[in-house]
Each structure stands twice: as C-alpha cells, then as structure tokens.
Structure 1
C-alpha cells in the first residue's frame, strides 16, 4: 500500500505526517485491501476565516476509488472529520462487498405451500 501526504500552501511536518498515519490505522484495521492512499492538506485563503484548513483523501480500493474532503478552522480537526467520513464510507463498501457473495433469493429453493384441508361445513 502506498501512502502519499502532500500539502498546498503548507509544509507537512513530521508531527502532521505521524498524526495522519496514526489515524489511517483505523481504516486499515477495518479494511485491509487498500491499494493506494493520497492525502492532500491545504490552507485556503477563503473569506470565511473559520474554514480555512482543508483535508482531502483519495483512497483506491480494488474496483473503487473513495474521495472524501473536510473543511475546518483547525487542521487536526479537519483530519479527524476526514477520517470519520472515510471510515464510514469504507465500512459501507465493505458491507456491500460481503453482502454481494450471499445466495440470491431467486436461486433459493421454494417452500412447498401446505395443503389446505377442507373444513367440514
């Protein structure tokens, strides 16, 4: 699995890199078939002062790419909400993959209806 952490208008410090890696362990614990992860951390010059920090992630799985982004006033808070959103999407994808392997209803044997007994009238 490849992990790329980059920053736009921001220097990625070892502390930020370690924080992102520790948070991504939760996703890897739930789903281990991850091919590639690209994290982009950005400081935007927006008019809204409280939502300047942006964190984005592209997670490539076999057959699917998951994209999540998060905005916040603090970079660490943006990373936390990003990982929460990503974890929900990965768990949803994992349940879809696991449920896909169950036997279809149309291939299940039909139950024989019980014979109705005529009532004495």
Structure 2
C-alpha cells in the first residue's frame, strides 16, 4: 500500500511521517486490495487535524480527527478508518453470500 503524507501549514518531521506510516500500514493486512492512502496533517493553534483518504479498488473511504496531541489524532483516524474498512469488507462479503430467490 502506498501512503502519501502531506503537511498543510506545518513542516512534518521524519518521526511524524514514520509514525503515520507505521500505524496505517497495518490496514493492508485487514483488506489487501487497498490501492493507496493520502494523509493530510495540519496544525492550528491548539489542535492537530489529521485526515485520511483511503483508496480501494472502485471505492474511497474518508476519516478525520481533531485532537490536541498529534499521536492521539493519528490513532483516532486509524480507529475510524479501520471501523469503516471492516464495515466495507463485511458488506462486500455479505453481497456475495446472499440467498437465491
């Protein structure tokens, strides 16, 4: 999975990019058909805003979070996108296992 990290109004350190890569790379184990992930990190006065757009074959998922701590914001985005990905995966599986009429 290709993870692209960009900073909006903030210079990202290599440690920040590594933390995001480490957290979001685990998503490919959950659903291997992920094409890529775009992460935008911005910082305003007292809050960090992290948004992730996950590109799956024929679909997109989006999650965002605002927290006072950078790591908390990344963790929140990972939890939200994981929840959406599990729901997406279950929906795809249930469509293929429907009963015949």
Q: Note whether the superposition's TM-score is higher than 0.5.
A: yes
Larger Rg belongs to = 1
Distance of aligned partners of 1:25 and 1:2 in 2 relative to their CA distance in 1, 3 Å threshold: closer
4+ residue segments displaced more than 3 Å: none
* Greater per-residue strand proportion: 2
The structure with higher relative contact order (CA 8 Å, sep 6+) is 2
The CA distance in 2 between the partners of 1:11 and 1:96, in whole Å, is: 38
Structure 2 unpaired stretches of 5+: none
Alpha-carbon deviations, 1:15-50, whole Å to 9, x = none?
Answer: 1111111111321111111112100000124xxx4x
C-alpha RMSD over aligned residues: 1.2
TM-score, structure 2 as length reference: 0.92
- With normalisation by structure 1, the TM-score equals 0.78
Question: Gaps spanning 5+ residues in structure 1: where?
Answer: 107-121
The number of equivalent residue pairs is 101
